[in-house]
Amino acid sequence: MAEVSEVLMSVLSTIRVPRPGDRVHKDECALSFSSPESEGGLYVCMNSFLGFGSQYVDRHHTRSGQRAYLHISRSRKAPVRIEGGFNVEQEQYEEEVKVVLLPDRQEVTSDDLATMPDVVRERVSLAMAGLMSADSVSHALQVQQWDGEVRAESRHAIELKQLNNGTKIPPCGWRCEVCDLQENLWMNLSDGRVFCGRRYFDGSGGNNHALLHFQQTGHPLAVKLGTITPDGADVYSYDEDDMVLDPKLPEHLSHFGIDMMTMEKTEHTMTELEIAVNQRVGEWEVIQESGATLQPLSGPGLTGMKNLGNSCYLNSVMQVLFTVPDFQSKSVTVYHFYLLAKLGYGLLSGEYSKPAPDPGEGSEPSSEPRGDQVGIAARMFKALVGRGHPEFSTNRQQDAQEFLLHFINMVERNCRSGVNPSEAFRFLVEERIVCQQSQKAKYTQRVDYILQLPVPMDQATNTEELQEAERRREEADSSGAPPPAPVRACIPFTACMAALSEPETLTDFWSSAAQAKTTATKTTRFASFPDHMVIQVKKFTFGQDWVPKKLDVSIDVPDTLDLTALRGTGQQPGEDLLPEVAPPPLMTPDAEVKGILGSHGNEEDDSLYSPLLSPVLDDSTVSQLCEMGFPLEACRKAVYYTGNTGIDAAMNWVMGHMDDPDFSAPLVLPGTSSAPGTTPTESFSEEHLATIVSMGFSRDQATRALRATSNVLERAVDWIFSHLDDLESMEVSEGGRSAADSEGSREPPPGPKVRDGPGKYELFAFISHMGTSTMCGHYVCHIKKDQQWVIFNDQKVCASEKPPKDLGYLYFYRRVTE
């Protein structure tokens, strides 16, 4: 021990005590998914506070010269069951902590430190205690990201009138005053009376007596007994028909003798209860194949992912992406994007595809295979891809389709040279617009990654059954009876494809041939077919009140798909094209134009002339959007870019551009490079320029696209693909030469980097969503591996017996090569 003491003394200056703000990585290895629960435990450098698994700690020691590491290992023991009330099982761990000195791996325990010199004992003990008490990076991120369910403060809470009727509520033993139920009980905060909650359509819940009491008395707020803790409780407003916040809850509870600080949770919260009910019925049970005993699987490519708190959307998307060869090879070859490589190795190697350890002795053995794995926890990866994003940086549930596009955009930005795996999904869309007055056509192309499939509800094959279900629901609403079980609409896949391919009517199309607004038809076709086709079923929509809702539909999605008939053919023989003439600007009748110079010109130089000085905007539409909570400038842009065509079109524009970096920026009119009243500039984001150049275009072409779209990357990409013909004759902006001057020395523009081939595909994966909207619920994915469907449900990986292909949300097809 004297030798070890000498070694510690020699490295004492490198041992640090964590300070506030230090990032301590004590949950996950920086280079793998090893954790304190893994075999060999985790080694935390006592200088940098980085964590390393047993297979990587020697490498870190060799490269950094650090010798002192805090070794943390945990083994799971039997769970402790709390008696009485709401049963809660909590995993308990036996933890061993010691200092390990490399390269000889000499071990020092807390007891060993007691025999060492004071200076060594004090410094090392403080460092050990500081590391163990410090919040890990993953925990800090969870606290920072988690905001739970967002509830509004009730308008009744502050001025709530409480009756002085002498009622005092005991801390337990509650019963409904009408039916003697002892669970799902709600205490009215006005009079202290206790009644049971609502009955659910599956027969569970209560008998609606709390609701009936509100209807009789008008007392609006009730608290769910059993959910009261020092941190809060479930409060429902019958008048506002929603879960709410009561900032004066401690005072309101104290009025009836309830000390909030001494209460313990003994009942499910409403969120927990909603999940439990959904899991028993409907799509939850079908999608997760809950009724079957599924065979657990393990091995390379069969690794589960831990749910980090509503991260199932990320888990499902990444599981599918790493079955695509482009992403499999990218994860191995690109070291500079090491977190992607780390995730790829974790999912594909099979190293972490091991059954989760048994809970321990003392627990009841299960006769059925559990399917849970040790799996991987992609904490660092989630933090990376969500950094700076208003939604993906939180722990709220998200839309898997939006995350897929967000991740593809990240890959595009980080793969400007070399192989780009997102090209596996990239394709070109051809849009053909025909003016009905002149019968002349216009062709444009745009890039896309996902085919959005409409759901024509009017084509349901079980219309009579749906109408009967709606009649029973209305009867239940009027009588106060529990609602009937929902009926799912059955929509043929052929009807969805027909809706996709049928022409769209444009009622306010400005025809350059007629020099007026007229009617046109727009037909959408494929200009190229990607190696892998992603199809999104448009299940999520908006009601008439703009509240998001999900369509509960079953679609007979096929295993094989032939899109050949949807390939675009371009300009037809004898077909005349619309002239390339810009539409007239929207002008106010009394707009004052200063000569021909406009607001930015002068007598010597009118190069900054812009005729678009005072656009006419429908004030009522702008006001309606503002009342919904959107920024004023965003509302003005929505009305402008949709040509004053009404609230529906403007709202669709808002929903499609909410993630634009300039969403709230002032409206910049085409032909100007700055907002009115400012000095115009020619400054474009280098990152945006590099992204467009990486897609095969020149810097001049990228600059022109950004100039035409106010420096918004997404719109610039759409613009450049819709103006490919114009780009061939564009002027060189930096050299002062025209295209004609350098015709002999310039190569023709290469165009977009897209792969093309036959339009025949086979289904290899699909992602399903359970819940009422993208803001809640759960995602799982099914992937076909070696002709066997496999379900990936976070950490559970099993052979699928009845893959619910008709209930998917995102479908992934790969090209069939003949």
- What is the 3-class SS of 49-94, one letter each residue? CCEEECCCHHHHHHHHCCCEEEEEEEEEEEEEECCCCCCCEEEEEE
Whole-angstrom Cα distance, residue 430 to residue 445? Answer: 5
Out of 778, 781, 782, 798, which one is annotated catalytic? 778
pLDDT given for residue 588 in this prediction: 36
CA distance 232 to 229: 5
What is the predicted pLDDT for the residue at 614? 44
**Helix 632-641 vs helix 619-627: crossing angle, to nearest 10:** 130
186 is in an annotated binding site: yes
Q: Is residue 259 a known part of a binding site?
A: no
* Structure confidence at residue 666 (pLDDT): 76
- Ranges of residues in the chain whose predicted pLDDT is under 50: 81-91, 143-149, 275, 277-282, 332-336, 360-369, 585-614, 670-681, 728-750
**How many other CB atoms are there within 10 angstroms of residue 680's CB atom?**
15
Is 199 labelled as part of a ligand binding site? yes
CA distances from 803 to 285, 317, 792, 807 (A): 12, 17, 11, 9
According to the annotation, is 761 in a ligand binding site?
A: no
Does 238 carry a binding-site annotation?
A: yes
Torsion of CA 477, 483, 486, 487, to 10 degrees: -60
Residue 56 annotated as part of some ligand binding site: no
- Calpha distance 507→520 (Å, rounded): 7
Q: Is 322 assigned a ligand-binding role in the annotation?
A: no
Spell out the long-range contacts of 92-95 with Cβ–Cβ below 8 A and sequence spacing 24 or more: 93/37, 95/36
The verdict on whether residue 490 carries a ligand-binding annotation is: no
52 is in an annotated binding site: no
Backbone torsion region of residue 299, taken as left when φ is above 0, otherwise alpha when ψ lies between -120 and 50, otherwise beta: left
In DSSP notation, 245-290 reads B-TTHHHHHHTTT--GGG----S--HHHHHHHHHHHSTHHHHHTTT
DSSP 178-216: TT---SSEEEETTT--EEE-PBPTTS-B--SHHHHHHHH
Give 493's contacts (C-beta < 8 A, 6+ positions apart): 555, 556, 557, 558
Task: Give the CA dihedral 794, 796, 800, 806, nearest 10 degrees.
Answer: -20
Q: How far apart are CA 442 and CA 431, in angstroms?
A: 8
Is there a catalytic annotation at residue 312?
Answer: yes
Our CA angle for 68, 69, 73, nearest 5°, is 155
Say if residue 449 carries a ligand binding annotation.
no
Task: For 628-777, list the strands marked E by DSSP.
Answer: 760-770
The domains of the chain, with CATH numbers, are 4-78+91-134 (3.30.40.10), 152-280 (3.30.40.10), 569-579+616-669 (1.10.8.10), 686-727 (1.10.8.10)
**Cα 56 from Cα 30, distance rounded (Å):** 9
Judging by DSSP bridges, how do beta strands 532-537 and 450-453 pair with one another?
parallel
Cα–Cα distance measured from residue 755 to residue 424, given in angstroms and rounded to the nearest whole number: 7
Q: Is 236 annotated as a binding residue?
A: yes
Question: Is 209 annotated as belonging to a binding site?
Answer: yes
How many angstroms separate the CA atoms of 697 and 416, rounded?
12
- pLDDT, residue 511, reads 87
Catalytic-role residue among 29, 45, 312, 635: 312
State the pLDDT at residue 273.
57
Q: Would you state the torsion angle of the CA atoms of residues 463, 468, 470, 475, taken in this order, to the nearest 10 degrees?
A: 170
Reported as a single tens digit per residue, the pLDDT across 223-244 is: 999 888 887 889 999 998 888 9
Write down the pTM of the prediction.
0.65
Q: How many angstroms separate the first and last alpha carbons of the chain? A: 71
Q: What is the pLDDT of residue 437?
A: 93
Does 60 participate in catalysis according to the annotation? no
